[in-house]
């Protein structure tokens, strides 16, 4: 009885004091005053006015504690999310960083891959300018992302690229000649002359063929990861995309689904500052992409995309997390698109030349990594000049060979539309061959009739 009355009294007191101090809206003051009430059982009738620490709204997804303070989360925090790096601008490991060393074999393969990518870009870009191929996209400035990430993956991991990650295929053993055959669309092209340059793919190397419309690879990647999850494989899906790509609707669908379906996927965003001529400040107003990953409930990290070791370490860790915990992980690699968007673009028209120069020289991922590799005694100036001269010759040779090779044969026009060649296409092919035979003057001479 007595307890009852005491409870009733206190509840009245609680209510009156609350009303009295309501205008102050000082939660600290109010809760301090009622510290003693914590020892009592919470009143079921007074849900609205309870300040007990463990009192909260029981909402799907977990309890939500209340606040008397009307506070809007700011659109962005004062300090930007920090960027993980291992090597400084001169290739010295920052002593305080936690990182995993790579051995000599991996380091040399990574470095030579970066130089090969540079060499291929240089020669092929020139070839396009000379009119020998129709189109090309370089990866200048993003060599560390390409090779650093590729080195941290296993060959069983399924890769869905955007289009600026040929280094991943290089790492996995796609030959220079294979690349160049694709650019020329000749009969040795693994892609059967179907795709534009830089739109490659190879089942053998677990790289899904590049698709041009942006961000379509993102939900596709989640689907593939779901399949991996069902197979319980020790592998994950890795998908790449740029800063501009994150504006597409498919980006939202993909991240959201990956989190909800709990699939083993690693997202690697190449935030290179530009989407053709659109700078990131006009692409979004968030603090880059790393906070977007967090918004979807995905653990995310920002790394220095020009630091090959930082990329390597982050991807290795992310992969581990994705597979053991069966969940998505996001990596935003900050870098710079040193080259033009493609051979159809001239970026000096919309950005200052000294900005490009700055990133090309003082923040060059290839030279930073070279310094580190050389200091470890695994590379030398001699090897450098020899390797560069050699690889350039190899690319040029591959171009010469590809150019002389016959173009893709007629059969490649009709095959693979469906699993089995349907009767109407068989008919069309037959009629086309007959027409070419009958009117050879109407067709170019280099039409390969084989296959």
Partner 1 sequence: MWGILRQKVGGATCLSPQGVGSHMLRLRPVTSALRNYSSAAKEMTVRDALNSALDEEMAADPNVFVMGEEVGEYQGAYKITKGLLDKYGPERVVDTPITEAGFAGIGVGSAYHGLRPVIEFMTFNFSMQAIDHIINSAAKSNYMSAGQINVPIVFRGPNGPAAGVGAQHSQCYAAWYGSVPGLKVLVPYSSEDARGLLKAAIRDPDPVVFLENELLYGESFPVSAEALDSSFCLPIGKAKIEREGKDITITAFSKMVGYALKAAEILKKEGISAEVINLRSIRPLDRATINVSVRKTNRLLTVEEGFPQHGVGAEICASVVEDSFGYLDAPVERIAGADVPTPYAANLERMAFPQIEDIVRAAKRACYRSGTMVATA
Binding site for partner 1 (CB under 8 A): 134-135, 185-186, 189, 192-196, 199, 211-215, 244-245, 247-249, 275-278, 282-284, 349-350, 407-408, 410, 412-414, 417, 424-425, 428-429, 431-432, 434-435, 438-439, 442-444, 446-448
Task: Specify the residue, 163 or 312, whose C-beta has the smaller distance to partner 1.
Answer: 163
What does the block give as tokens for 368? 């930073």
In angstroms, what is the minimal distance from the CB of 130 to partner 1?
15
What does the block give as tokens for 282? 């006009």
In angstroms, what is the minimal distance from the CB of 239 to partner 1?
17
What's the full length of the chain, in residues?
451
50 Cβ contact partners less than 8 Å away, ≥ 6 residues apart: 42, 43
Residue 55's nearest CA partner among 95, 27, 22 is 27
| Degrees to nearest 5, angle at CA 86 with 83 and 91 | 120
User: Could you write out the DSSP letters of every residue in 250-318?
Assistant: HHHHHHHHHHHHT--EEEEEEE-SEETTEEHHHH-SSSTTHHHHHHTT--EEEEETT-HHHHHHHHHHH
Task: Specify the residue, 31 or 347, whose C-beta has the smaller distance to partner 1.
Answer: 347
Task: Specify the residue, 113 or 288, whose C-beta has the smaller distance to partner 1.
Answer: 288
CA distances to 89, 144, 205, 346 from 139, rounded to whole Å, are: 20, 10, 20, 15
Task: Specify the residue, 254 or 313, whose C-beta has the smaller distance to partner 1.
Answer: 254
| Degrees to nearest 5, angle at CA 326 with 321 and 329 | 50
In angstroms, what is the minimal distance from the CB of 331 to partner 1?
20
Task: Specify the residue, 103 or 281, whose C-beta has the smaller distance to partner 1.
Answer: 281
| Alpha carbon distance 46, 73 (integer Å) | 29
Residue 295's nearest CA partner among 251, 334, 336 is 251
In angstroms, what is the minimal distance from the CB of 240 to partner 1?
15
DSSP one-letter code for 406: P
Residue 145's nearest CA partner among 327, 375, 368 is 368
Task: Specify the residue, 319 or 340, whose C-beta has the smaller distance to partner 1.
Answer: 340
| Alpha carbon distance 305, 271 (integer Å) | 8
In angstroms, what is the minimal distance from the CB of 89 to partner 1?
31
In angstroms, what is the minimal distance from the CB of 203 to partner 1?
18
In angstroms, what is the minimal distance from the CB of 97 to partner 1?
34
Burial 40-70 (b: 16+ CB within 10 A, else e): eeeeeeeeeebbeeeeeeeeeeeeeeeeeee
User: Could you write out the DSSP letters of every residue in 337-379?
Assistant: --S-SSTT--GGGTS-HHHHHHHHHTT-HHHHHHHHHHHTTS-
Task: Specify the residue, 92 or 443, whose C-beta has the smaller distance to partner 1.
Answer: 443
Q: Please count the other Cβ atoms lying within 10 Å of the Cβ belonging to residue 154.
A: 11
Q: Are 239 and 160 in contact (CB under 8 A)?
A: yes
Q: Are 167 and 117 in contact (CB under 8 A)?
A: yes
Task: Specify the residue, 203 or 441, whose C-beta has the smaller distance to partner 1.
Answer: 441
Instruction: Return the active site residues.
Output: 337, 341, 350
Q: Are 158 and 228 in contact (CB under 8 A)?
A: yes
In angstroms, what is the minimal distance from the CB of 285 to partner 1?
10
What does the block give as tokens for 61? 């997804």
Task: Specify the residue, 97 or 347, whose C-beta has the smaller distance to partner 1.
Answer: 347
In angstroms, what is the minimal distance from the CB of 162 to partner 1?
12
């Amino acid at each position: 009885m007595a307890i009852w009355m005491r409870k009733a009294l206190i509840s009245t007191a609680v209510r009156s004091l609350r009303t009295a101090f309501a205008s102050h809206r000082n939660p600290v003051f109010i809760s301090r005053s009622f510290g003693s009430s914590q020892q009592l059982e919470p009143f079921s009738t007074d849900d609205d006015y309870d300040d007990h620490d463990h009192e909260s709204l029981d909402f799907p997804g977990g309890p939500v504690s209340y606040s008397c303070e009307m506070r809007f989360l700011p659109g962005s925090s004062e300090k930007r999310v920090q960027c993980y790096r291992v090597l400084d601008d001169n290739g010295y490991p920052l002593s305080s960083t936690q990182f995993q060393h790579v051995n000599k074999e991996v380091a040399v393969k990574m470095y030579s891959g970066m130089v090969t990518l540079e060499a291929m870009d240089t020669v092929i870009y020139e070839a396009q300018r000379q009119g020998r191929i129709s189109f090309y996209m370089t990866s200048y400035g993003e060599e560390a992302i390409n090779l650093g990430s590729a080195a941290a993956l296993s060959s069983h991991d399924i890769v869905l690229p955007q289009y600026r990650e040929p280094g991943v295929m290089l790492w996995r053993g796609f030959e220079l000649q294979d690349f160049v055959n694709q650019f020329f669309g000749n009969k040795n092209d693994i892609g059967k002359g179907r795709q534009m340059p830089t739109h490659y793919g190879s089942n053998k190397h677990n790289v899904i063929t590049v698709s041009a419309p942006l961000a379509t690879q993102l939900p596709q990647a989640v689907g593939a990861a779901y399949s991996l999850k069902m197979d319980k494989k020790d592998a994950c899906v890795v998908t790449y995309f740029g800063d501009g790509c994150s504006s597409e609707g498919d980006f939202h669908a993909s991240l959201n689904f990956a989190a909800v379906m709990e699939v083993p996927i690693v997202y690697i965003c190449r935030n290179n500052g530009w989407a053709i001529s659109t700078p990131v400040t006009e692409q979004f107003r968030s603090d880059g992409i790393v906070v977007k990953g967090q918004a979807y409930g995905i653990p995310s990290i920002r790394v220095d995309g020009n630091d090959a070791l930082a990329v390597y370490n982050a991807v290795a860790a992310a992969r581990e997390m994705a597979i053991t915990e069966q969940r998505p992980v996001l990596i935003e690699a900050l870098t710079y698109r040193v080259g033009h968007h493609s051979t159809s673009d001239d970026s000096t028209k919309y950005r200052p030349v000294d900005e490009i120069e700055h990133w090309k020289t003082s923040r060059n991922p290839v030279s930073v990594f070279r310094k580190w590799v050389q200091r470890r005694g695994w590379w030398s100036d001699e090897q450098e000049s020899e390797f560069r001269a050699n690889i350039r010759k190899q690319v040029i040779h591959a171009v010469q060979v590809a150019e002389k090779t016959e173009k893709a044969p007629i059969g490649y026009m009709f095959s693979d539309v469906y699993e089995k060649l349907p009767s109407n296409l068989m008919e069309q092919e037959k009629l086309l061959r007959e027409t070419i035979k009958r009117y050879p003057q109407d067709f170019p001479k280099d039409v390969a009739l084989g296959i």
